[in-house]
Amino acid sequence: MKPLLHPKTGLLSLFLCISCVQLAGQANSSPRPSTQSQSAPNIARHLTILGFTLGKSTLAEVEAKLGKSAVRRCSPGETARDEVCYLVGMGQTRVAFEADGCLDGFRVIASGLQRPCYRECPRASEATGEVQTEGGLKLGLTREQLIALLGPPKEIRGNKFTFQWESRQAMTKEEEERESKTFNTPITDAYWDVLDTIEVTLVDSKLVEFEVDHIVSY
C-alpha cells in the first residue's frame, strides 16, 4: 500500500480504511486485549459528539440526521478529506465532520471565530443544547479545566494546545484474515495502530475551538 502523510499530524503511516460495519461489530467479537502507550483520560468518550462516533459513523448518517450540507475540503494537502458543517443550537456555533469512509475527525468552532472555509454552514435540523463530547470537552473551558480533563498537553504553540495518545487496538479474527489476504502474507502483529489527537485554541484563556481526530493504521 502507498504510504500517506497525514495532513494534520504529519505522521507517515500505511492508512487503512476499516469499514464502519466491521468496527461497530467489534464489541460483539472477542479480540485480543488492546494496549496503550500512555495514560489517556478515557479518550473514547471524546470521540462522540451529537450522537456521532469517529471510526463508526459516516457522513451519510450525519446528513440523514442533521440535514444536507455542501461537501467541502478545508484541510491543506492532496489527502484532505470530505467535510460537512452545520450551525448548531440557537447561536452561531459551527460543527464540522470530516471523513474518508467512516468519520475520522470533527471540529467545533465558537461563533466569534473567523474560519472562512466554514462560513456558510446550514443550521442543523436536529441538534439543540450545548455542544460537547461525551467526555465533557466543550467551548468555554478554561485552561485549568482543559488540563484537568485531558491531562498535560503534548505540545503548546502560543494559544494552541495539542493532546495526543497512541494505542494499539487488537484485530478481530475476521480483520486478521482479511489483511492476510490483502498483503498476501500471514499477519504476525495483529494490531491496529491508533492515533487520537485533540487540538484546541484558547482566547483569553478560554477554549474557542477544538478538533478531534481518530486515525487507524497498520
Name the residue ranges covered by the structural domains of the chain.
33-217
Kindly state the cell numbers that stand for 97.
Answer: 465532520
Kindly state the cell numbers that stand for 172.
Answer: 478481530
Q: Is the dihedral of CA 42, 44, 156, 36 positive or negative?
A: positive
Beta carbons within 8 Å of 64's beta carbon, 6+ residues apart: none
State how far the Cα of 30 lies from the Cα of 27, in Å rounded to an integer. Answer: 8
State how far the Cα of 217 lies from the Cα of 199, in Å rounded to an integer. Answer: 20
Contact at 8 Å (CB) between 208 and 113? yes
Along the 218 residues of the chain, how does pLDDT read in single tens digits? 333 334 344 443 344 444 554 444 443 344 444 444 445 568 999 999 999 999 999 999 999 999 999 999 987 765 668 999 999 987 889 999 999 889 999 999 999 898 999 989 999 987 767 899 999 999 999 999 999 999 999 999 999 999 999 988 888 888 888 878 887 888 888 888 899 999 999 999 999 999 999 998 87
